[in-house]
Structure 1
Amino acid sequence: MNVTKTPTGKSINGAEIYAIDLENNTGTKVRIFNYGTIINSFEIINKDGKKQDIVLGFDTIDGYLSDAYLANYPYFGAIIGRYANRIANGSFSIDGTKYELSKNAGGATLHGGTEGFDKKLWNIDQVATEPHASVTFSYTSPDGEEQFPGTLETQLSFELTDHNELILSYQAETDLATAVNLTHHSYFNLSAEGGNIAGHLHRMNASRYLEQDDNFTVTGNLLPVEGSHHDFRLGKTIGENWDAETGYDQTYVLDKPYGDLTLASETTDPVSGLRLQVYTTEPVAHFYTAKHLEVQNGKKGQEYRPFDAFCVETQHHPNGINIADFPSTVLKPGQTYYQTTIYKVII
C-alpha cells in the first residue's frame, strides 16, 4: 500500500490544489484531487498486463479549471452536493420555512446550485496506508451557501483495497435542519480503446424507475421497468433497445432493504473483460450515458463524445425533499448523515 500527496502548482483563493495517489498491492492506482474530490484516474492492470484507466478526465488539473470545459460542464469525477440531481422549482420547505435556492437548470436547482461542492477546495484531513491506502477530506459549507440553510460539516473518505475496491464513505452534520443528498459523478468506460459504450453489458437490480418531467425533474411517480427498455434486471447491452439519440438519464429504485450495503449494478465490457460492480447503502442509482458529453483535449488528447461513458450515481431519490412519500433527505441537528458506495473492478 502506498499514498502520496503532490502539489499541482495550481491554487484556489491562494490555497494549493493537491493530487492524492492511492496505490494497492496489485498495482491499481487512484488519483484524487482535493478540488471537488475529483477522481482524476482509476488505473488498473488489465488482463493483458497493461495499465488501463477506466475514468474520463484530463491529464492535469488545468483541464478541470479551463473556461472551455466549464462552459459545457459535465462534473467529471466530482462530488455532488449539497443536493444531487434536480430540486423542482429550486425551492423546498422545512418546518414551515420555505427556502429559495440558486437555480441553474431551467428553473430547477441541479447538483447543488451555481457553485456546488464540486467546485470547492476540500481540506485533506488524513492520509493512511493501513489497513488500506486511504485519504479523508472535509468541507464546511456555511449557512446560506447557494441559499441552503445551516452550516453543514461534510467528510468524505476514499479507501482502496487489494480487491480493487474503491470505498467512498460520506458523513455530514448540520446545526440547522437542511436538505442533504450527496453522490459522486465519475464517468466510466471499461474499453481499453475508449469510445462508445453501447456494447457494454449492464445489469441493475431495479424493478422500478422514477418518472421525470420535460426538465428531467422527478415527479414522484414510480414506474415499472417491466416491458420497457429500462429493464436491466437480467442484464443486456446498454444500446440493445435504447433511444439512440438520448440514451439513459434516469433514476432507478434499487431492489434492496433501505440502508443495506448491497450490489446496485454491474457493467462489463465484453472485449476487455473488465467488470465494474457498484455497491451502495443508498436507495436509488441514477444511470446516465453521457448524452451531453462534448469535451476536447481529454486524457492523451482524446475527444470525448456523447455516449463515450456511463455514470452510476448512488443517492437518495432526486427531488425527495419535495415528495413526502420518498425517503427523507432532511438532516437535523444531532443527526449524522451516512452513505457508503463501493466501486469494485474485476479483471
Structure 2
Amino acid sequence: MSVQQIPTGKIINGEEVIAIELTNSKGTYIQLFNYGAIINKFIVKNAKGELQDIVLGFEDVTQYLDEEYLINNPHIGAVIGRYANRIKDGKFSIDDEHYQLVKNTGTDSLHGGDIGFDKKVWDIVEVGDEGQSFVTLEYESVDGEEGFPGNLIIDLTFELTENDELILTYEGETDKATAINLTHHGYFNLAPNGGNVGKHTQQIFASAYLEQDENYCVTGKVIPVENTPLDFTQPKTFEQDWNPSEGYDQTFVLDKIYGDLSLAAKTFEEESGLTLSIYTTESVAHLYTSKYLRAKNGKDGKYYGAFDAFCIETQHHPNAVNIYEFPSTILRPDELYTQTTIFKISVNK
C-alpha cells in the first residue's frame, strides 16, 4: 500500500497539477489528478492475470483542456459539482431567494455550469502514511460561482483498499444555504481491448426510474421499470433491450434507504472476467452509455466514440432543488454534506 505525488509540470490558473498514485499489494493502481479530481487510470488484474485499465482518459493532463474536447463536454473521469445532472431552466429558489445559474445545455444548467468542479485545481490536504493508500483533496467554491449561493468547502477522499475497493468519501460545509449534488463521472469499459460496451452485463438494484423531458431533465414523475427496457433488476446485457442509436441516459431510483451504504449496481464483462460493483449512500444512480462521447487521442492513441464506455453516477435526485417531493438537495450552514461511494473490482475466473 502506498501513495506517491508526482508533479506534472503543468500550471492551470496559476496552480500546479499533481498526479497522485495509489497502489495496493495486489498491483491495483489508481492515478488521480488534482485537476478536476480526475481518476485518470484504474488498473487491475483480469481473469487471465493481465493488467488492464478499466477507465477512459488521457496520457497528458493538458488534453483535458483541449478546446475540441471541452466543446463536447464529456467530463471524463472527473468529480461533478456543485450540482450533478440538469437543473431545469438553470434556476431555483431557497427561502424566497431566487438564483439564476449559468445555462450550458440548451435552457438548462448541466453538471455545475461552464466551469464546474471538474475544471478546478483542488488542494491536496492529506495523504496516507506508509501502509495507507489514500489522498484527500479540497476545493472551496466561492459565493456566486456559476450562480450558486454560499461559500462551499468540499473535502473528497480517495482510498484504495487491499480488497480492490476505491472508496470516495465526500464532506461539505457552507456558510449560506445552497444547492448541492455531487457525483463522480468515470467512464468505464471492462473489456480488455475496449470498444462498444453493448455486451457488458448490467444489473441495477432499482425498481423505478425518473421521467425526463426532451432535454433529459427530470420532471418529477417516478415510473416503475417493470416491463420496460429500463428493467435491470435481473442481469442483462446493455444491448439486449437498448435502442442501438440511443443507448441509455436515465436516472434510476435505488431500492434502498437514503444514507445506508448498500449495493447499487453490478457490471460484468465476460472476456476479462471482471465485475464492477458499486455501493453508495446515495438515493439514485444515473446510467449513461456515452451516446455523445467524442474524444480523440485517448490512452494508446485511441478515439473514444459513442457507446465505448458506461457511466454509473451515484447522486441525489436530479433537479430535486425544483421538485419538492424529492429528497432535499439543500445544504445549510449548520449541516454537513456527506456521501460515500465505493467502486469494487472482483474477478470471475
Please give the range of the TM-score, normalised by the shorter of the 2 chains.
over 0.9
- CA deviation vs aligned residue, 1:44-96 (integer Å, no higher than 9, x gap): 12222221000001112121121221121200000000000000010000001
Other-structure match for 1:226: 226
Give 1:183's aligned residue: 183
Question: Could you tell me which amino acid in structure 2 is paired with residue 100 of structure 1?
Answer: Q
Secondary structure at the aligned position of 1:321 is classed as: helix
| Percent sequence identity over aligned pairs | 56
Is 1:157 the counterpart of 2:157? The answer is yes
Q: Distance in 1 between matches of 2:297 and 2:35?
A: 20
| TM score, norm. by length of structure 1 | 0.99
Secondary structure of the equivalent of 1:317? coil
- Secondary structure of 1:75's counterpart equals coil
Which secondary structure does the structure 2 equivalent of 1:240 belong to?
A: helix
Q: Secondary structure at the match of 1:71?
A: helix
Instruction: Write the deviation string for residues 281-325 of structure 1: whole angstroms up to 9, x where unpaired.
Output: 000000000000111110000111100100000000000000010
Rounded to whole Å, the distance in 1 between the matches of 2:91 and 2:212 is: 17
Amino acid at match of 2:300: K
Deviation at 1:10, TM superposition (A): 0.6
Quick check: 1:20 aligned with 2:24? no
Residues 1:10 and 2:10 aligned together: yes
SS of the residue 2:279 aligns to: strand
Distance in structure 2 (CA, Å) of the matches to 1:137 and 1:262 = 25
Amino acid aligned to 1:14? G
In the alignment, the residues of structure 2 paired with residue 126 and residue 166 of structure 1 have an alpha-carbon distance, to the nearest angstrom, of 17
**How far did residue 9 of structure 1 move?**
1.2
Q: The residue matched to 2:99 in structure 1 has which SS? A: strand
Q: TM-score, normalised by structure 2?
A: 0.98
Code of the aligned partner of 2:270: P
Q: Does 1:141 align with 2:136?
A: no
Tell me how far apart the structure 1 counterparts of residues 44 and 147 of structure 2 sit (CA, whole Å). Answer: 41
C-alpha separation in 1, matches of 2:330 and 2:138 = 20
Separation (CA, whole Å) in 1 of partners of 2:99 and 2:71 = 28
Match of 2:125 in 1: 125
CA–CA separation in structure 2 for the residues paired with 1:114 and 1:188: 24
* Cα offsets for 1:312-339 (capped at 9, x unmatched): 0000000000001000000001100000
* Contact kept? 2:2, 2:131, Cα under 8 Å: no
Deviates more, 1:131-140 or 1:177-186: 131-140
Partner of 1:309: 309
Aligned twin of 2:281? 281
What amino acid is the match of 1:254?
A: L
Name the CA distance, whole Å, in 2 between partners of 1:15 and 1:36: 12
Map 1:46-85 onto structure 2 (within 5 A): 46-85=46-85
Q: Deviations over 1:16-46 (max 9, x none)?
A: 1000000011000000000000000000122
User: For the residues of structure 1 that align with 2:84 and 2:71, how far apart are their CA atoms?
Assistant: 20
Amino acid at match of 1:321: V
Note the 1:201-220 alignment, pairs <5 A. 201-220=201-220
Per the alignment, residue 256 of structure 2 pairs with 256
Q: For the residues of structure 2 that align with 1:10 and 1:153, how far apart are their CA atoms?
A: 24
In the alignment, the residues of structure 2 paired with residue 179 and residue 131 of structure 1 have an alpha-carbon distance, to the nearest angstrom, of: 37
User: Following the alignment from structure 2 to structure 1, what is the Cα–Cα distance between the partners of residues 235 and 131?
Assistant: 35
Secondary structure at 1:245 match in 2: coil
Task: Name the aligned partner's letter for residue 277 of structure 1.
Answer: S
- 1:28 alignment partner AA: T
Corresponding letter in the other structure for 1:140: E
Compute the displacement of 1:130 (Å): 5.7
Amino acid across the alignment from 1:281: T
1:42 aligns with 2:42: yes
Deviating above 2 A after TM superposition, structure 1's stretches of 4 or more consecutive aligned residues are 129-132
Q: Deviations over 1:145-169 (max 9, x none)?
A: 0010000011100000011000000
Task: Output the aligned Cα RMSD.
Answer: 0.8
Other structure's SS at 1:136 match: strand
Provide the rounded CA distance (Å) in 2 between the counterparts of 1:301 and 1:129. 35
Residue of structure 1 equivalent to 2:295: 295
| Alignment partners' CA distance in 2, 1:29 and 1:213 | 40
Structure 1 residue runs of 5 or longer lacking an equivalent are: none
1:97 — aligned with what?
Answer: 97
* Contact 2:3/2:132 (<8 A) preserved: no
Counterpart CA distance in 2 for 1:68 and 1:58 is 14
SS in structure 2 at match of 1:239 = helix
Q: Aligned AA for 2:73? A: Y
Measure the CA separation in 2 of the matches of 1:208 and 1:48. 37
Structure 1 stretch 228-237 or stretch 57-66: which is displaced more?
57-66
Unmatched runs of 5 consecutive residues or more in structure 2 = none
Q: Distance between the aligned counterparts of 1:117 and 1:72, measured in 2? A: 17
